[in-house]
Amino acid sequence: MQILDGKALSKKIKEDIKSKVKVLKEQKGITPGLAVILVGDDPASHTYVKMKAKSCKNVGIYSVTHEMPYDIKEDEVLETIAMMNKNPNIDGILIQLPLPTHIDTTKVLEMVAPQKDVDGFHPFNVGRLVTNLDGFVPCTPLGVMKLLKEYDINVEGMNAVVVGASNIVGKPMANLLLNANATVDVCHIYTKDLKRHTLNADILLVGVGKPNLITEDMVKDGAIVIDIGTNRLESGKLVGDVDFEKISKKVTHITPVPGGVGPMTIAMLIENTLTASKLRRG
């Protein structure tokens, strides 16, 4: 069994980005810029945004966070995004989700200029992903594909089972796998007999947010398991969606939590921001 070390790979990617940003600054006078919209006081969101800001600073990317109160009006959020769309110093715009219920998330995401949509959530970029065209891809599933490539795992011809069908992880993950010529099965809350599906998986990818959803008897011998879930137990321990201790004994590759997919998400955000800067500025 081999651990897929996302922490180590993300560090390597960030070092590469850092060197490329340095070249951009020295040769072109360009500093890539990322703007984050953060609404409300959700502790997890604030922690995640601080991690993003720290990572940007470490690689030389300019970042700014627009913190807004929970009860802010939707129009004010849209106005701020419009301002960021026009700002020549901002290459990427990220909307930290979830947004408060009184704000239309779809409307907000659609307000972001597609060329600055480094999270890959705008319908324009979603459509390009579905049709296997270049565009910005959501950071978590993109990070999974980078991790597989790093360990020379080719999913072509594999039976891939994705558990979770969110717009952020499950659906784009399924499309990336399909584009890589895997046979893809997507499971969700309405799936009957989940175990029947997961036992057929050569590669199983789980992103639901439920500790130990996938147990040892649900995974076949020799499978590859990608745990995208992140859950904090009452004890404070951070765990994924699969029973790592038992499942790791019967698979060929598995991602740990923490240290697997999580670090790759931020690495891909920074990489997408650098790409946006290069494309937007020619």
What's the rounded Cα separation, in Å, for the pair 121 and 114?
Answer: 9
Note if 96 is an active site residue: yes
Note if 52 is an active site residue: yes
DSSP strand pairing (62-68 vs 159-163): unpaired
Q: What is the DSSP letter of 258?
A: T
* Alpha helix ranges (H) inside the chain: 6-23, 43-59, 74-86, 105-111, 123-130, 139-150, 170-179, 194-198, 244-247, 261-280
Of 119, 185, 241, 243, which one is the catalytic site residue?
119
**Both structure tokens of 234:** 């009452």
Of 96, 116, 241, 243, which one is the catalytic site residue?
96
* Alpha helix ranges (H) inside 138-239: 139-150, 170-179, 194-198
Note if 119 is an active site residue: yes
Q: How far, in Å, are 193, 214, 260 from residue 146 at the CA level?
A: 31, 23, 12
Q: What angle do CA 267, 268, 269 make, to 5 degrees?
A: 90
Do residues 3 and 254 lie in contact, with contact meaning Cβ atoms separated by under 8 Å?
A: yes
DSSP strand pairing (33-39 vs 238-239): unpaired
Show which residues are catalytic.
52, 96, 119
